[in-house]
Structure 1
Amino acid sequence: MARVGLVDTTFARYDMASDAKDELKQLCSVGFKHKTVPGIKDLPVEAKNMLEGDCDIVMAFGMPGSEPIDKQCAHEASTGLIEAQLMTGKHAIEVFVYEDEASNDKELAKLAEERAREHAQNVYQLLFKPNKLKKMAGTGQREGGSDAGPLRR
């Protein structure tokens, strides 16, 4: 049975891991390992530990604030997640929602839920339906918002 790692933070204002877990349970049968870390820069080491352990793929959830330092920390965490992928040869799906992506808390919560669920669908496809992803190449998919659609000549 495939095992999905979920790692989230206490800094986030929304529980995206629960939505992703719920979505995956609706799509397939997988095992889960869930860890929570204090902040966004703590995500890479936990993701790497899970990938080196018994997880086939990891979803890393973060909710950076709107200040420049928050965006810098998110970039550093993103770089760390990429390094974890390269070190283990497994995917670590970054699911970040920036607090300034929405104009109010209700919209932010909706965005967080949609992004978590749509990335969970990506995890399902990476694990079980990789050919479906191949068919979607170049179609302008966006997680948590309207798809951009493909460019036409």
Structure 2
Amino acid sequence: MACVGLVDTTFARYDMASEAKDKLENLCSVGIKHKTVPGIKDLPVAALNLLRKDCDIVMAFGMPGPEPIDKQCAHQASTGLIKAQLMTGKHIIEVFVYEDEAADENELAELAKNRAREHAENIYRLLFKQDELRKMAGTGQREGGPDAGPLRR
């Protein structure tokens, strides 16, 4: 049975991991390991540890604030997540929702919910439905909001 790791933070203002878990449980049968860390820069080592143990893939959830330092920390975390992927040869799907992506808290919560659930669908496709991903190439998919659509020649 495939194992999916979920890593989230106490800094985030929405429980995206629970949304992803719910979506995965409705899509397929996988083992799930969940780890919570304090902040966004703690995500890479937690994700790496899950991949080194039994997980085939990890979702890393973060909600950076609107300040420049928050974006800098998110970039550092993202770089660490990429390094962990290269060290293990396994995917880490970065699911970050920036607090300034939405006009108000209701919109932010909806964005976080939808992005987590749509990335869970990507996890399912990566593990079990690669052909579906191939068909979606170049279609302008956007997780959490409206798709951009493909460019026409």
Return the TM-score normalized by structure 2. Answer: 0.99
Which amino acid in 2 is paired with 1:36? Answer: T
Q: Give yes or no for the alignment of 1:11 onto 2:5.
A: no
Large movers: runs of 4+ above 2 Å: none
Which amino acid in 2 is paired with 1:64? Answer: P
Any idea what the Cα deviations from partners look like across 1:59-99, whole Å, max 9, x if unmatched?
00000000000000000000100000000000000000000
Which amino acid in 1 is paired with 2:54? Answer: D
Aligned counterpart, 1:21: 21
Which amino acid in 1 is paired with 2:130? Answer: P
Q: How far apart are the structure 1 equivalents of 2:83 and 2:131?
A: 25
Aligned counterpart, 2:30: 30
Aligned counterpart, 2:152: 152
Aligned counterpart, 2:41: 41
Aligned 1:106-145 pairs, distance under 5 A: 106-145=106-145
* CA positional deviation for 1:103: 1.1
* CA positional deviation for 1:145: 0.6
* CA positional deviation for 1:131: 1.1
Aligned counterpart, 1:99: 99
Which amino acid in 1 is paired with 2:81? Answer: L
Q: How far apart are the structure 1 equivalents of 2:80 and 2:11?
A: 18
Any idea what the Cα deviations from partners look like across 1:119-152, whole Å, max 9, x if unmatched?
0000000000011101110000000010000000
> Does the residue aligned with 2:137 lie in a helix, a strand or coil?
coil
Which amino acid in 1 is paired with 2:46? Answer: E
Q: How far apart are the structure 2 equivalents of 1:47 and 1:131?
A: 26
Q: How far apart are the structure 1 equivalents of 2:141 and 2:13?
A: 25
Any idea what the Cα deviations from partners look like across 1:6-63, whole Å, max 9, x if unmatched?
0000000000000000000000000100000000000000000001110000000000
> Does the residue aligned with 1:103 lie in a helix, a strand or coil?
coil
Q: How far apart are the structure 1 equivalents of 2:134 and 2:55?
A: 23
Return the TM-score normalized by structure 1. Answer: 0.99
Structure 2: state its 5+ residue gaps: none
Q: How far apart are the structure 2 equivalents of 1:140 and 1:107?
A: 21
Structure 1: state its 5+ residue gaps: none
Aligned counterpart, 1:64: 64
Identity %: 80
> Does the residue aligned with 1:4 lie in a helix, a strand or coil?
strand
